[in-house]
């Protein structure tokens, strides 16, 4: 299948699931600070690998994934209603921690820069 079409479908699935998270899914286990970072639909359109970013501790992340797993049928039905496809991809949720890793790296860089400034400031005097 054409890679451009798969990318468009992936983007539509991402938009649909993001909208469902903010407006329609009311599971208390799903953290309000949950976002969909990426969706990869397989070439045969059978599965949608959905990468979810959750801000919080490990317990909050696990609860959010459990809540999303329990809402999988509803999410698949809504994807089918909003996107006209022959086969509605089955959502598979994965935890995406790239945002948190990026924040951690930014803090490390700031810390090193601050220490470097302090060393240069004290050596100039």
pLDDT greater than 70 at residue 125: no
| pLDDT tens-place string over residues 77-100 | 999 999 998 889 999 999 988 887
The highest-level CATH class for domain 3-97 is alpha beta
Is 64:29 a contact under the CB 8 Å cutoff?
A: yes
Domain boundaries in the chain?
A: 3-97
- Lowest average pLDDT, out of 4-8, 52-56, 63-67, 119-123, goes to 119-123
| pLDDT tens-place string over residues 32-48 | 889 999 999 999 999 99
pLDDT greater than 90 at residue 122: no
Is 96:53 a contact under the CB 8 Å cutoff?
A: yes
| Pairwise CA distance, residues 14 & 51, whole Å | 9
Q: Give the burial string for 4-41 (b: 16+ CB within 10 Å, else e).
A: eebeebbebbbebbbebbeeebeeeebbeebebeebbb
This prediction's pTM: 0.79
């Amino acid at each position: 299948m054409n890679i451009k079409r798969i990318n468009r479908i992936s983007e539509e699935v991402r938009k649909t699931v993001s909208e469902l998270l903010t407006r329609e899914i009311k599971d208390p286990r799903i953290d309000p600070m949950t976002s969909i970072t990426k969706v990869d639909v397989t070439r045969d359109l059978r599965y949608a690998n959905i990468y979810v970013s959750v801000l919080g501790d490990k317990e909050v992340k696990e609860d959010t994934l459990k809540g999303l797993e329990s809402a999988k049928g509803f999410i698949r039905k809504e994807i089918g209603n909003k996107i006209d496809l022959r086969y509605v991809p089955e959502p598979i949720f994965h935890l995406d921690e790239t945002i948190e890793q990026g924040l951690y790296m930014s803090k490390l860089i700031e810390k090193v820069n601050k220490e470097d400034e302090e060393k240069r400031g004290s050596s100039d005097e």
